[in-house]
Amino acid sequence: MDPVLSVQGVTVRFGDHLALNQADLSLAANETLAVLGPSGSGKSTLLRAIAGLEPLAAGRIESLGVDLAPFPTHRRGLGLMFQDATLFPHRDVLGNVMFGLIMKGENRENSIRRAQAALELVGMEKFADRSVSDLSGGEAQRVALARALAPEPKLLMLDEPFGALDRPRREELNEELRSLCQRLPTAVLLVTHDHTEAFALGDRVMVLREGKVEQTATPTDLWRNPASPFVAEFLGWNVTHDAQGRVTAIRPDSITLTCELTTDQERATVVARTFRKNHWRIRVETASQQILEVEIANSNSERTLGVDGEGLAIGQSVGVAIDPGAAISFPELPLKP
């Protein structure tokens, strides 16, 4: 069967700037692909190109084997949801969810039935006659999601949908969204700059950098085997460069610190430490002037360090041991003259 979405060599230009550079992706029914990257990497441009809101300089976009180029946005079988819920203030919740159905020519009776079903999917069926001005931020985003789902799209595209919410509410809605995506036949394309969110929601994760696809993999494979120094560093690995141009990536949870220096360890100095609820994030500078970020679980801190994480002082000398199985070497980079 043809994929729900196939993006083939898509290039988008803004003047001389390449916003997307020969991007490729494929997405099947009932699959969620999370598009991950920093600001300016082309994530939102990719969604806009798929929706027909940005002209292509090159490439092709297909859905179920059909070229989408001749079709306007409203005829591409897409559901769209953005960070801003953009609900209509003069309509109640049900009216907002019905809007897209009515615009597509659905009669009122069917529009009400499908809108009510969509609200039930997101747990908002009791809010149907509520004014949108009375909704919390999380409730408004649920309504926006129901509106995107009501036409039963083949592809649901989400552009940082919960980015404006506080972290606890965002995590709650992400869990609900993941459960919902697993129950529906809809393919989902999600854009985010947060790798924790991408890993939680995506069956696969695609990393973009300056408009180019750096890597596409399952969350576990992406975390364990980043394909480039950029991907490794973006995910929080330590990326070190030596004088010969060799590049090594080291996972932060693979580094052990001890207060007693042994012969097989490098000496380092603690330069910063941050408490992160279930672990400590400790930054050290080695004798070779490399900066390393180290993650140590609270339950292991006293055993690993000989003191608890809180007692580790800025400026304190520690020994550093790195698990060689959790380090990746990349091809040498050319040295700067």
CATH number of the domain encompassing residue 282: 2.40.50.140
What per-residue confidence (pLDDT) applies to 54?
96
End-to-end CA distance of the chain: 52
Contact present, 54 and 211 (Cβ < 8 Å): no
Sorted by sequence, the CB contacts under 8 Å of residue 45 that are 6+ apart come out as 12, 19, 20, 54, 211
Is residue 302 predicted with pLDDT exceeding 70? no
Token pair of 297 as six digits: 């679980």
pLDDT, tens digit, 9 for 90 and up, residues 150-198: 999 999 999 988 776 777 778 888 888 888 888 888 999 999 998 889 9
- Residues 70 and 158 reside in one and the same domain: yes
Whether residue 126 sits in one domain with residue 33: no
Segments forming the whole domain that contains residue 51: 5-77+153-225
Q: Is 250 found in the same domain as 326?
A: yes
261 CB burial (10 A radius; 0-12, 13-18, 19+): middle
> What is the tens place of the pLDDT at every residue in 111-160?
999 999 999 999 899 999 999 999 988 889 889 999 999 999 999 999 98
C-alpha 254/C-alpha 182 separation (Å) is 33
In a domain, 336, yes or no: no
pLDDT of res. 326:
83
Ramachandran sector of residue 310 (left: φ over 0; alpha: ψ -120 to 50; beta: rest): alpha
What rounded mean pLDDT belongs to the chain?
Answer: 88
- Tell me: do 203 and 112 sit in the same domain: no
pLDDT score of 337 more than 80: no
Q: Judge if 130 and 251 occupy the same domain.
A: no
Q: Residue 301: what pLDDT? A: 52
Strands 317-322 and 327-330: unpaired
CA distance 274 to 195: 19
